[in-house]
Amino acid sequence: MVGEAEHPDGDTGPLDGVTVLDASRVLAGPFCTMQLGDLGADVVKIERRDGGDQTRGWHPPTYGDSDESAYYLSINRNKRSVTLNLASDEGRAVFRDLASEADVLVENFRVGKMAEWGLDYADLHEENPGLVYCSLSGYGEWGPDRDRAAYDIVMQAEAGMMSITGVEDGPPVRVGVAIADIGAGMYCTQAILAALFAREFGDGTGQKIDVSLFDGQVAWMTYMASNYFATGDPPGRMGSKHPTIAPYQAFATRDGYVVVAVSSEHMWPRFCRAIDREDLVDDPRFEVNAKRVENRETLDALLDEELADYTTDELMTRLDETGVPASPVQSLDEVFDREQVRARGMRQSVEHPTAGSVEMPGSPMFFSSTPATIRRHPPLHGEHTDEVLTEYGYTEADIERLREGEIV
């Protein structure tokens, strides 16, 4: 339970001693529980007997000659896998045993399904009043859309993300990773940590959390939504450009693209000096950001022509020397070969019993005394069923009977 660990010795995360029952699958929920696992929690992943988490079958690619889906491996480290048939009365009884001692429960079944099974917050709260119960869904637990199916691309379209993503006058574009799922998973993590904090400094009681993919994407509209509220005009697609800053975008070079971020007035003279166009500093059309935004079309045409003469390396050298924030547009092989990535531990590997050495991004959360760590490989399907049930008092005979009855 939270607070039971005495003094972390540098090898345990801030959630050491917290038990998480993970009844989620695919991406949003598993991304949340992976973060909790990275922070030191003991995450018990509940999977169906017939195949487990759907992402186990989302391949190619796989690692080496194994059947291990790269997708599944990316979001399920630091967990123990237990197979359980929740469609059976006895399977649900086992689940209630596990939930009775958990600090956190995360689930992303269809809204109402856990209640049908007698496993909703109200059903489990009485036996475990301290339980923090997080439900994750497409549209949330109330509202006219609550029963609609939800997928990341649908969320990006419905919540406005695709209306502002892509090239001007071009077709709408989906952001390249499933940000609706990942964003909702991050909101779940934040909400769970806040609820644990409230429990610890309150009366010890947990609470129900309701997070949806749709709400998360609407919340992520932030300044784009504010621009709309202020003007009444919905923003459109601008490619890599920024609606209120210029120049703040990607420019083509002779051999690639460079992103430039002239985000303040003192950056503008530096940028002009870097490209040998100091005559632009006091040009009345561009002398302040508001003018540069107002005259963006003229400025863009001028800079497109100017910067196309440089190679990417030549332009980056000039921008770095003058302190202008900039970067080449990098592919993932370039990203994960960067010394900065390695120095920060953002390229990690873990040994897997069938996939061999599995590489993955590291945790971006750093602590001075309670580090986030990668302690467990993404588990095999049902790898820890016997181990976990034994910890909860089940005997070998009990587990064999459950296995014969197709419960685990």
**Residue 92 in contact with residue 118, Cβ under 8 Å?**
yes
At 365, which amino acid appears? M
What radius of gyration do the chain's Cα atoms show? 25
Residue 4: per-residue pLDDT = 34
Per DSSP, 377 falls in state: P
Residue 332: per-residue pLDDT = 95
d(CA 332, CA 243) in angstroms, rounded, equals 27
d(CA 151, CA 214) in angstroms, rounded, equals 10
User: CA end-to-end span of the chain, whole Å?
Assistant: 26
At 48, which amino acid appears? R
d(CA 325, CA 248) in angstroms, rounded, equals 10
d(CA 95, CA 73) in angstroms, rounded, equals 24
Domains and CATH numbers, the chain: 19-220+343-404 (3.40.50.10540), 248-252+257-328 (3.30.1540.10)
Kindly give the parts of the chain with pLDDT less than 50. Answer: 1-9
pLDDT tens digits for range 303-349: 999 999 999 999 999 999 999 999 999 999 999 999 999 999 999 99
Residue 120, CA atoms < 13 Å, CB-side half-sphere:
12
Per DSSP, 62 falls in state: B
d(CA 111, CA 253) in angstroms, rounded, equals 50
**E strand residue ranges, 204-255:** 208-212, 248-252
**Residue 34 in contact with residue 78, Cβ under 8 Å?**
yes
Per DSSP, 258 falls in state: E
Residue 354 in tokens = 């069938």
d(CA 108, CA 106) in angstroms, rounded, equals 7
Catalytic residues: 181
Strands 132-137 and 104-107: parallel
